[in-house]
Structures are given as C-alpha cells and as structure tokens.
Amino acid sequence: MSGSRFRYGAWRDGPDPLAPPYDVRAAVDEVGERVLAGDSLRDVLRDLIRRGPRDGRGLDDLRDRARRLRREALRRGNLDGAVTRAQQLLDQALAAERDQLARSSDESARFNEAVLDNLPRSTSRAVEELSSYSWTSDEARALYQQILDGLRREVVEQRFAGMKQALEQGDFAGISEMLADLNSLLARHARGEDTADAFQQFMAKHGDFFPENPRDIEELIDSLARRAAAAERLMRSLSPQQQEELSRLMDQALGDGPLRGRLGELTDNLRALRPQLNWGRGERMRGPSDLGYGDAAAALGEIGDLDELLDQLGQEHPGATLDDVDVEAVERQLGRSAADDLRRLRELERELRRQGWVTRDAEGLTLSPKALRRLGRTALARVFDDLGGKRQGQHDLRDAGAAGDLIGSSRRWQFGDEQPLDVVRTIGNAVRRRAASGPAARLPVRLEPDDFEVAETERRQSAAVALCVDLSYSMYADGRWGPMKQTALALSHLVATQFPQDALQIIGFGLHASALTQGDLAAIDPTMEKGTNLQHALKLAGRHLRRHPGAEPVVLVVTDGEPTAHLEPDGEAVFWWPPLPETVRATIHEVDHLTRSGATLNFFMLGDDPGLQRFVAAVAERNGGRVFSPDADELGRYVVDDYVRARRGRHRRSSAA
C-alpha cells in the first residue's frame, strides 16, 4: 500500500486558524502610550479600529481597496455607448438601403433616396421618422429592428435579472403582467399593509424573473431599487443632448404599450420606498470602449454600491459603529479576505468591550474605568522610573483608628468601635472561657459579647489636594499637553492606590475652569480658546478644600503663562493680554483666601515667561509656597515627588506634636 501524499500551502479560506490571538492588553497599552504623549483619546481609539489588529488590515485598508475599485470602474468605458451603437447600426442600415435603391430605376426609389437624404442628424429623431418607412432591403430592415430590439432587451434585462428567456420568446405580455402585479404589491407595502402572504404569492407566480430569490419583500425592494437608481444615474451622467437621444430611443424601443408606463411607475414606487439611495448623482466615466446600456448601468450601480460602502467604512456620522458596515456588501465588492478583516475588527472591538477596556457612548469609543486605572498605573510607573526607584513613603500617624494598616495588636471590643474584628482571638477567648467552666463543656462554642476583640490599626492623616492644570492652547503648542496629562493621571492613581484617605480634585483651567475626572482628563482635547483663568481654578480649589475641613490643604498649580482671564461678579469670563490689573487683583484675592485657610500653593512653572516668573514669585512670598521650574519631561517627577515629600513632612510635624 503506497503512502499518503500531502501538499502544503498558504491558508486561503478565511482567517488563519493557527494565528495567535490578538493581544487586547497590548492594544490598550498602545492607546495609553499615545494618550500620555498628548494625542486625542477619540482619535487614538478611532485609529485603533482604522489600522486594525495588524498593520494594513483595518478600515483604512478596506477603504483604499474600495477607492481603487471605484477608480477602475470609472475607467471602464464611455457611458453613451447605447446611443453610439444605435448610430452605428443606423448608418449600416442606411448604407444597405441606399445600395438597394441604387440598383432600382423607378421613381419610388428616387423618392426613398430623398427621404433618406433629408433625415434629421439626431439619431433618435431619425429612428423615429424611419418607424413608418418601407424598407426595400431586408438587411437594412433587420439592422433597423436590431436598434430597437437590442435597446429594449438591455433596458428590461438591466432592471430584472431573469428576463432573458422571456425576451427571447417575445413574451412582453408576461413581462407587462409581472410589472402590474409588482407595482400593486409595492403600493400595498407603501401603505403599510401586511404583504408577507402577497409576497409569497407573487414569487410563486413570477419567481422566474428573480433568480436572486429574495427572502422577503424588503430584499426584493433593495435589489430592484439599486438597479433602478443605477439607471437613473446613467441618465444623469450623460450630457443634455445625450440624455435626450437616449430617452427618445428608449421610448421607441419600449413602444406605446403598457410596458413603458409600468416601468416608469415601478421607478416612482422604488424611489419612494428607498429615497436614501443616490438617485440623482451623475458620474464622469471614460475608457477605451463604448459601454452598452446594460454595461453602463451596471458600472454605475457598482460605483453606487462602492460609494455606500465607503460611507459605511468612513464611520464619520455620529454614533457610527462597525455593526453599521454590511459584511455581505464588503464580501460582494471587496472579496472574502476583506470580509474576514472586517469580522476580525468587529471581534477586536467586542473583545475590548467584553473585557471591560472600552465603552461606547454617543460620540464613539472611550476608555472604561478599568482602562483608566491601567493608564494611571502606567503614568505613575513612568514617574517612579524617573524618581530612580525612590520609595514614595508613607505618612502614618500612630493612633489607633478605623482606617489604615493593621499593626498586629488587638483590644476588647467596645460599643461604637468600627475597627475590623480579630476573628482568631475572638474564637480563642470563647474556647478558653468554656474550658474554664469545667470538663463538661463541649462544642459548639457560643460567643459572648466579652469574647469579641478588634484589631488595632494605624490611622493615616488625610489631605485635601487640588491639582490645577493649565489647558490653554500654548500648553499644546509647546509640547506640554502630554506631560500634563501624564502628571495628573499619575498623581490621581497614586492617591487612589497609596493614599486613599486623601481627597484629590483635578481642576483644568483655560478661559474657564472646571473639575475633571480621570476619564475627562484622558479624553480632553486642546482648543484654540484663549485665556488662563487661574482665579477661577483657585476658587474651585477653595471649594474643594472646604468640603474636607479636617484634611491638610494642598494646592498644586501647573501652568506656562501668567493669569490673563478672571470671572466678573455675574460669572462672565474676561480675557485680555497683557493681563489687566483687575485680573491680577482677582487672582491674588483667591490666593489670600487660600492662604488664610492654611493651604500651601506650590507652582510648577513651565517655560520662561517673564510675566509668569514675576507673578509666581510674588505669590510664593505672599503664601509661603514653593516654585519649581521643571522641563516638561520632568513635570511628573517634580509634582509627585513634591506631593509625597509634603505628606511625609506633615506626618513628622504631626508626630512631633
């Protein structure tokens, strides 16, 4: 028995089943890297889907393929081929007729020659005048009839895929009856009637005309409407003269019977049922050959489908999702591999959402709290790398309390205690008490109130921290936007994980100031709005500090320019440069208010603006805070290190007291 023989090659039937799964966390980290570098969160998440899980396999690649196919379709040929072909057949018919007349010597032959010599130059008008002409040449008569029969066949076949056999048999009555039944069905559907049974009856009677076998009336309408829209676009793509020529030729080809009227009625019904299709847009097509009516309409139908697909792949409209992209249309227009790419992108987005990394709102994808925590951890890790491995320190106050770390000791429970229960010592107390009662004591052990003990903890002193970050356009223009985001996210993560008893509020300020969450900060984009309203930011910082009266007040300010805006009593922001005296006075008023409440203002001054240097020096002298001038890349290290050192210093003062 001969051994089996195998052949190996590249996988060609969809996605590679042995390809490693896409690393979703790597995608999230890549998003985080770009956000921390200052890129727009929305743009980064949109790029992730556009680029796809592998380079060149995202929406942008699919759009490039669709655009390439569209350009090729536009170069397929000239759209006036139907008129050109009619002109060629007419010239051949007239030549054959003149040859036949030249061989005759009677007066009727001379009269017919005069008729032919005086035909209009317009092809359609000449065909119309020759409709009652008595041909003497059989060849000429056949060529003339071919003009009408060929155009009629192309028009009807373009609208209905299954018309070839009926046209070959000359069954125009059957075609006309089908059109009447179809228009009746569409009219009932347009009125909102239930047409499920009527559709089944229609398909049972006329199904041979529809080899695509639509499953329901909506699929039938979609198919017919796309074909009808392509025919309309063909007319709109011709010049006015060409439109008139083709329209007249089509009227003569369809004749004066019911066929022409019912086709027109069908077009009107389909336009009403599918108004969103592009019915009126023309295209400029050029190519080496003249396209017949059917080929020209098919090319324009293909271009229309590609335009619709490009719109879906563009994802530009509000609330757009990958589910809006028709996978079947992608496979039909771009091929199986493109459809597999789209399915892979959908799976990527679903996996990001399933694992809780992203959520979708009205504006698109955004990072979830889980992803923001990972982003903050990354930002903090970068800062600690810059700190050279220094420990951030703890700032414990040696006082037993409900919050803090366990210290290993316990005490008897008292009414009102909130400390965690020491289960081991509580059970031990109960066992020893029962044992002391005599040898008859047996399980189960019942707990008495005196048995309970609670674990003692070290309570940490809390702080109320306001981090005010400058969001003016100069921060973005000078490359400080990314470091600012990284610093704020790092500090937010540090407080949430290492100092949960502290209350941190991030405040962004431009022309106005507002409180920002982690998500707001990650997603915020720069604007061209001018103004540095530090006064409003300090006012919000004061409100935050007053909400935590027992906490140590800390205010950190990151800015690259002197105050240029302030709020009027009516709440309207006023901007002017150079700064108005009113702006400076309003800002200093907030500084003094914070100083009286015991808050320390530390400034992190980016850049070398002389006005800013004079202002922060005056504030430091007035408040007693410190001023730092870090490079943008070192901003996170300076802010986090100052926060940790300040907390460490407060602990020492508390312990000494």
- Read off the pLDDT of residues 66-105 as tens digits, 9 standing for 90 and up: 889 888 888 887 877 788 888 889 899 999 989 988 888 8
pLDDT at 656: 40
Report the CATH fold assignment for 463-656.
Rossmann fold (3.40.50)
Section 374-389 average pLDDT = 65
Residues in Cβ contact with 639 at an 8 Å cutoff, skipping those fewer than 6 apart: 467, 487, 490, 491, 556, 558, 604
**pLDDT of 386 above 60:** no
* Residue 316: per-residue pLDDT: 74
In the numeric block, the tokens 């005490």 are attached to 411
Neighbours of 546 (CB within 10 A): 11
Handedness of CA 544, 547, 549, 550 (dihedral sign): negative
Per DSSP bridges, beta strands 573-575 and 600-605 are unpaired
Residue 536 scores a pLDDT above 90 = yes
Asked whether the beta carbons of 640 and 380 are under 8 A apart, the reply is yes
> Mean pLDDT, the chain, as a whole number?
79
Q: Which two tokens stand for residue 301?
A: 């139908």
Q: Give the position of tokens 């060409």.
A: 242
pLDDT at 227 over 60: yes
- pTM of the complete model: 0.57
Mean pLDDT, residues 334-354: 81
* Residue-level pLDDT at 1: 45
How much is the pLDDT for 590? 93
Predicted confidence (pLDDT) per residue in 176-201, tens digit = 888 899 999 999 999 999 989 999 99
Q: Which residues pair with 509 in a beta bridge?
A: 470, 513
Total residue count of the chain as it appears in this document: 657
Please give the average per-residue pLDDT across 446-472, as a whole number: 81
Contact (Cβ atoms closer than 8 angstroms) between residue 258 and residue 176: yes
| SS percent in the chain: helix, strand, coil, step 5 | 60, 10, 30
**Is there a contact between 463 and 426 (Cβ–Cβ < 8 Å)?**
no
* Residue that has been written with the tokens 């439109």 in this structure: 243
Rounded Cα gap, residues 350 and 361, in angstroms: 14
- Which of 8-22, 273-287, 489-503 has the lowest average pLDDT? 8-22
227: CB partners within 8 A, 6+ apart? 158, 159, 160, 297, 301
**Which of 541, 532, 539 has its CA nearest to residue 578?**
532
CB atoms within 10 A of CB 310: 15
Instruction: Dump strand ranges (E) for 358-462.
Output: 358-361, 364-367, 396-412, 453-460
Asked if residues 267 and 234 have their Cβ atoms less than 8 Å apart, the reply is: no
Provide, rounded to the nearest whole percent, the portion of the chain with pLDDT above 90.
12
Q: Where in the chain is the domain with CATH 3.40.50.410?
A: 463-656
